[in-house]
Chains A and B, each alone.
Chain A
């Protein structure tokens, strides 16, 4: 399916450009907004892989929650919000490069190891597997306990946050 290939490459190039924008931007808020583009691109890639539910979770959790927390983090700290190259640069480019290359190497090795040469054929069964209703059936049929545990987790997190942020 050539359309899928075209869409993949368009998204991949846009994501890579935005990812460079995240690290190159002189304004930390702009960097966070570039991150939104990267994450949205990832969501679109999930759609291309017929993983519909994962794509929308990506939008809700990453673009919704994680980026909002980033922006709050920027606001709560003394991070400079205007274009200021000096304040954002802490001279760790080479260290960053090493870590980035290491992670890239590990991911390539892992993916080639696990899926190298395999072809996943697109089918309606694959699409229905990624559909929200399928995930819902799984959550309520198999993963009920984890589901309810999540509510406890969120309650604990909220109580903890209120305790730590309280004024008195």
Chain B
């Protein structure tokens, strides 16, 4: 087995241990807890306010949060390959990355000033 797979074997072992522990805890809970299903329990939890009414089950506003998350998720994907090459890319890479991040930050500032991040 090569070095590459040996490294990922430890990752796999870690994931397996985590899954085992997680499953054990949930399984223990399942054995101990009472089970009384009610339809109310399936209603979306929305910070204590009543989500019933309107077309959807939650406010469309939350959609923008999901989109902001996706945006910065994609940003993270591009930051990784830059970060591992930080030294060899030098100033050139820094500038390219700065342009990338600044443009995305402007989007965030826009969303903030537009008031979509405000609650209420």
Contacts and interface: CB of A to CB of B under 8 A. Distances in A.
Identify the interface centre among B4, B68, B116: most chain A CB within 10 Å of its CB. B4
Given A61-B73, A133-B84, A150-B78, A165 B42 contact: no
B103 A151 contact: yes
B58 A75 contact: yes
A53 interface: yes
Interface residues of A, number: 50
A151 B104 contact: yes
A60 interface: yes
B92 A139 contact: no
Contacts of B77: 57, 60-61
Bin chain B's interface residue count: 35 or more
B81 A165 contact: no
Interface of A: 1, 3-4, 7, 44, 47, 50, 53, 56-57, 60-61, 64-65, 68-69, 72, 75-79, 81-82, 122, 124, 127, 132-133, 135-137, 139-140, 144, 147-148, 150-152, 154-155, 157-159, 161-162, 165-167
28 contacts: A3-B5, A56-B80, A57-B77, A61-B74, A61-B77, A68-B66, A76-B56, A76-B57, A77-B56, A78-B55, A78-B56, A81-B42, A81-B57, A137-B88, A139-B78, A139-B82, A140-B81, A140-B92, A140-B96, A147-B78, A147-B100, A148-B100, A152-B103, A154-B75, A158-B68, A159-B107, A161-B63, A162-B114
